[in-house]
């Protein structure tokens, strides 16, 4: 039976970079592309980081019973949905997978596929460093959205509280102050 290695962490913890590097280094782990209704960011590609869909398409999949998990965020730019779809991407009888998401999405995917199928990879960074990274990333955007960046930063404190991490059974943490060292520790863990 395959496993789902689930990368998660607060915004700007480096989870996207870690996810990409793990995917590059371990091509046997299949990627699961999540869906979102948020606008595409510069440098993103549809079907790679996310499937970018409109709300009509989301509602069609919801009505068809294909949504595994769904999170909605009331951002300063409107409501954005992030979700995982039972669209044939995951077949645990044949493969292992690499996914990325939040603690809430991890719990929903774990409940859907069973705890024995999921391996949590929680990445963390000191908040000051995360904030510096977030500001730097926003500055690179054609239209920086600093208010939304601040909303995400503050929401992460609640979303990844110690109580919620404990309740989800997250015991192993990977500190990402040195990317290569962090990747080495994760690769040792998943072997």
Cβ 112 vs Cβ 69: under 8 Å: yes
Cβ 11 vs Cβ 152: under 8 Å: yes
| Stated pTM of the model | 0.86
Q: Mean pLDDT by 10-residue block, N- to C-terminus, for the chain (191 residues)? A: 96 93 96 94 91 96 96 88 95 96 94 96 95 92 89 91 96 96 97 86
What pLDDT score was predicted for residue 41? 87
What pLDDT score was predicted for residue 152? 86
What pLDDT score was predicted for residue 76? 80
- Of 102, 44, 95, 30, the closest CA to residue 70 belongs to 102
């Amino acid at each position: 039976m395959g496993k789902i290695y689930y990368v998660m962490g607060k915004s700007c913890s480096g989870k996207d970079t870690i996810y990409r590097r793990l995917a590059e280094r371990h091509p046997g782990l299949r990627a699961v592309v999540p869906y979102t209704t948020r606008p595409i960011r510069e440098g993103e590609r549809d079907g790679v980081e996310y499937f970018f869909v409109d709300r009509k398409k989301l509602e069609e999949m919801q009505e068809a019973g294909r949504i595994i998990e769904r999170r909605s965020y009331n951002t300063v730019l409107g409501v954005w949905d992030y979700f995982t779809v039972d669209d044939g991407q995951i077949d645990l009888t044949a493969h292992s997978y690499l996914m990325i998401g939040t603690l809430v999405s991890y719990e929903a995917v774990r409940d859907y596929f069973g705890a024995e199928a999921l391996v949590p990879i929680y990445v963390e960074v000191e908040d000051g460093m995360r904030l510096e990274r977030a500001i730097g990333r926003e500055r690179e955007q054609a239209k920086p959205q600093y208010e939304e960046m601040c909303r995400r930063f503050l929401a992460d404190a609640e979303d990844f509280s110690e109580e919620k991490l404990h309740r989800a059974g997250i015991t192993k943490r990977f500190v990402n102050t040195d990317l290569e060292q962090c990747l080495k520790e994760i690769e040792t863990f998943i072997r």
